Amino acid sequence: MGKFYLFLVAASLGYCSTTAQTKDTLKEVWIRQSAIRHFFTRIKDFNPGGTTYNLDSQALKRYSGNSLSELIRDQTPVFIRSYGFNSLEAANIRGASAAQTAVLWNGIPINDAATGIADLSNLQTSSVDQVSIVYGSSAALTGSGNVGGAIVINNNSPFSSPYSSNLNFSLHAGSYNLLGGTIKFDTTGEYFHLGASGWVQNADNNFEYTTLNGTTQKLQNAASKFFGGSIHLAYKPNASTTIGIMGWGQFAERYIPPALFEQQSDKVQTTGALRSLFYINRTLKNKGVARAKCSFINNNYNYAEAYSGINTSNNNQQVFTELELEKPIGSHGNLLLFLPTTLSYYHDYGENKLYSQSKVAIGGAYKLSALKNRFMLGLQMRFEQTDGFSYGLPGTSIAYKLTRWMTLKSGIQKTYRLPTLFELYTFPGGNTLLKPESGWNYDLGAHVIIKYGRATFETEIAGFNRRINNWILWLGGAIWTPHNLAEVWSRGVETFNKYNFKINERWTFNFYLNTSYVLATTENSYMSNDGTIGKQIPYSPRYNGQAGIGINYKQLNFNYSQGYTGYRFVTADESIFIAPYSTGNLSVMFQKDIRRHPVTLQGSIYNIWNSDYQLVSGRPMPGRNFRCSVNFELLH
C-alpha cells in the first residue's frame, strides 16, 4: 500500500508538470469557473438533489472578526457542540458526531488527521471568502467519514478580478479586553496573482457568571491568544492554465477556565496548524477541465496542567493528492473522474509511538440534464481502500422542476467511516477492536422561489432518514473509551426561508427563518439491558433554529437575529440534560466611500437579552457583550 501511495503522489506531480507545459488557447471564462472555487461546484452540480446553504457576503462581513463556529452557530440551524469555553468547538449536522462532519478548504479535507475533528473555533471567518453548509452525506464526492454533512470553505479565484490591487485594514475591539486586527493584500496582473493576509486577536474573557451557590464572580484562567496568516501565489502562463500555491498557518493559546464544579484551573492548551496546497487547473480543447492538487497539513497540540503535572503533546500530518478530469458528454451530460489519496500520521509524544493510516480511492460522477434542464440526475460512485478495508460508496441524486417556481429533490447515499487514529490508539482509552461505521442516507425535499414585483420569497424544506451501524460513542468515567453502538437512527426535517423586499432604491427589507428538528436515537445495542434504546444521542438537540431581520437604508445596515437551541441530554440514558436557551444578536453597519476608499464601521451586541446558558454541562457562557470594528480599503 505504501509503495502504491507514493506512486500516486509521483503521478500527480508528474501530471501537473506535463499539463503546465502543454499550450492551448481557450476562452478565459473557463479559467474563472475552474479555479479553486470548483470544489463546491462539484457538490452542487453532481448532487442536484442535495441540500446546501450558502452564507451570504453580508453575514461574512458582519462576522469577519469572529470564528467560523460563531458564524455558523448564529446564522444556520447547525448545532455547534462546545467542549467548554475556550475549548474545541465542532459541528453537529443532522445529529451526527463531530468526527462525522467533513470540513473542506478549497477541496482539501482539513479535519484533524488523528481525531477526525475540525475545531471551528480555531478558524477565523476573515481567512476565507465563501462558506457553505452541505446537509446530508456526500461521501461519494467528498470521501468516507462524511456522514452527517460537510462545511465547505473557499478562497476567491486568483484571476477573477484582473488588473486590480486591494489593501484592507480592519481593527476590532470588544468586551473582556478583546482586541484584534486583520490586514489583507492582493494584486492581480495579466499573468501573476499575489494575495496575503494576517490576523491577531487577544482577549481576557473574564466575564461574570453565577456559581452553583448563587454568587457572582469573574471567570478565571480564561485568556486566549490567536494569530495567523495566509499567502496565495498564482501564475497563468496562458489562457487555459492556472498554477498556484497556497499557505495557511495559525497558532492558538487558550487557558481553560474552571467548570462550575471546580474550584480553580491552571489548564492551558496550545495548538498550531500549517496547511499548504499546490494546484494546477487546465481547460482542454473539448471544453473539459483537468485539475491536479497536492497538499500537506501539519497540526501540533499541547495540553498542560501545572498543579497535577500533566503535560501531553502530539503531532499529526496529512498528505493529500487528487487528480481530476471533468468533461461534457454530449449536449446534456457531464462526466467527472477523480483519484484522491490520503496518508495520515499521528505521533503520540507521551507514548513515543507513531501511527499511520492511508486511503486510496477512485471515484466518478455523471450529471444529466434533460427536458430543457427541468430534470437533473446525478450518479456518484467511489471505491476506497484503507489499511486493508475496501468499500464502495454509491449514490444517486435527482432534482425535477415541477413548475417554474418549485423544484422537487431526492437522493440516496451510502456512508462509511473508519475509526480515527485517536479512537484506535490514544492512551489511555483507545480501542483497537472498534468496527467501522456504515449505513445509508436518504433525502427528500422541495425548493420554492417566488418573485412578485420587488419581492422575492425563497423556501426549502428537506427531510432525511439515516441508519448507521456500529456508531462510535465515547463512554466511561475516569477514563473514557470509544465503543460501538449496534445501530443509531437519525431522522428529521430542516427548513430554510428567506424573504426580500426592495421598497425603493434606498430601502431594502429582508427576513430569514431556519429551523431544524432531529431525532437521533439508539435503536439496537451490543450491551445487554442497555437503557439507551430509543433515547437521544448525547449533545444532539432535537430543536434548533434561527430567525433574523435586516433593514438597509442607503449605506446603513441593521440586522437582528434570534437563535434557539433545545434540550441536550448529557448522558446516553437521558437521565441528565441541559436546559434550552435562546440568545439574540444585534448588529449595525455603516459603509461610506471616502475619496473612493470604502470605510465600514460596525457595532454589535451579542446575547443582547443577557441569557444565562451553557453549551456543555458545567461550562458557563458570556452574558451580554459588545464588539465594534472599523474596516478601511484601498482600491486600485
pLDDT band at 478 (very low <50, low <70, confident <90, very high): low
Q: CB-based contacts of 540: which residues, under 8 Å, 6+ apart? A: 79, 92, 95, 518, 520, 568, 569
Terminal Cα-to-Cα distance of the chain (whole angstroms): 51
Q: Provide the residue ranges of all domains of the chain, joining segments of one domain with +.
A: 2-214+221-635
Q: Say yes or no to pLDDT of 24 above 60.
A: no
Report pLDDT for 309.
Answer: 82
Q: Evaluate whether 346 touches 363 at the Cβ level (below 8 Å).
A: no
Report which secondary-structure segment, H or E, holds 279.
Answer: strand 267-283
Is the torsion defined by CA of 122, 126, 130, 135 positive or negative? Answer: positive
Q: CB-based contacts of 599: which residues, under 8 Å, 6+ apart? A: 591, 592, 593, 630, 631, 632, 633
CB count within 10 Å of CB 143 equals 25
Q: What is the pLDDT of residues 371-386, one digit of tens each?
A: 999 999 999 999 999 8
Report pLDDT for 7.
Answer: 36
pLDDT band at 448 (very low <50, low <70, confident <90, very high): very high
Report pLDDT for 62.
Answer: 87
What's the mean pLDDT when you consider all of the chain?
Answer: 89
Average pLDDT over residues 165-170: 92
CB count within 10 Å of CB 618 equals 14
Q: Evaluate whether 425 touches 442 at the Cβ level (below 8 Å).
A: no
Q: Evaluate whether 306 touches 326 at the Cβ level (below 8 Å).
A: no
All 3 cell numbers of residue 437? 461505521
Report pLDDT for 162.
Answer: 79
Report pLDDT for 26.
Answer: 32
Report which secondary-structure segment, H or E, holds 72.
Answer: helix 68-75
Q: What is the rounded CA–CA span in Å between residue 113 and residue 93?
A: 20
Q: How many CA atoms lie within 13 A of 589 on its CB side?
A: 21
Report DSSP state, residue 204. Answer: -
Residue type, 566: G
The CATH superfamily label for domain 2-214+221-635 reads: TonB-dependent receptor, beta-barrel domain (2.40.170.20)
Among residues of the chain, what percentage have pLDDT more than 90? 67
Lowest mean pLDDT among 16-30, 237-251, 420-434: 16-30
Q: What is the pLDDT of residues 499-517, one digit of tens each?
A: 999 999 899 999 999 999 9
Q: Say yes or no to pLDDT of 1 above 60.
A: no
The three state secondary structure string of 347-372 is EECCCCEEEEEEEEEEEEEEEEEECC
Average pLDDT over residues 525-542: 86
Q: Say yes or no to pLDDT of 34 above 70.
A: no
Q: CB-based contacts of 49: which residues, under 8 Å, 6+ apart? A: 376, 378, 397, 398, 399, 409, 410, 411, 443, 445
Closest to 499 (Cα-Cα) out of 456, 557, 545 = 456
Report pLDDT for 306.
Answer: 85
pTM of the model: 0.90
Report pLDDT for 41.
Answer: 79
Q: What is the rounded CA–CA span in Å between residue 92 and residue 78?
A: 6
Q: CB-based contacts of 550: which residues, under 8 Å, 6+ apart? A: 58, 508, 509, 510, 511, 557, 558, 559, 560
All 3 cell numbers of residue 50? 442535495
Backbone φ and ψ of 407, nearest 5°: -125, 130
Q: What is the rounded CA–CA span in Å between residue 310 and residue 305?
A: 5
Report pLDDT for 552.
Answer: 94
Indicate the SS3 state at residue 458. Answer: strand
Indicate the SS3 state at residue 431. Answer: coil
Report pLDDT for 381.
Answer: 97
Q: Say yes or no to pLDDT of 35 above 60.
A: no
pLDDT band at 460 (very low <50, low <70, confident <90, very high): very high
Average pLDDT over residues 413-433: 90
Report pLDDT for 32.
Answer: 35
Q: What is the rounded CA–CA span in Å between residue 277 and residue 249?
A: 12
Report pLDDT for 289.
Answer: 92
Report pLDDT for 586.
Answer: 96
Average pLDDT over residues 553-577: 92
Q: What is the rounded CA–CA span in Å between residue 367 and residue 404?
A: 21
Q: Say yes or no to pLDDT of 6 above 60.
A: no
Pairing of strands 101-105, 149-154: parallel
Q: Evaluate whether 365 touches 379 at the Cβ level (below 8 Å).
A: yes
Q: Evaluate whether 91 touches 151 at the Cβ level (below 8 Å).
A: yes
Q: What is the rounded CA–CA span in Å between residue 293 and residue 140?
A: 18
Q: Evaluate whether 592 touches 554 at the Cβ level (below 8 Å).
A: no
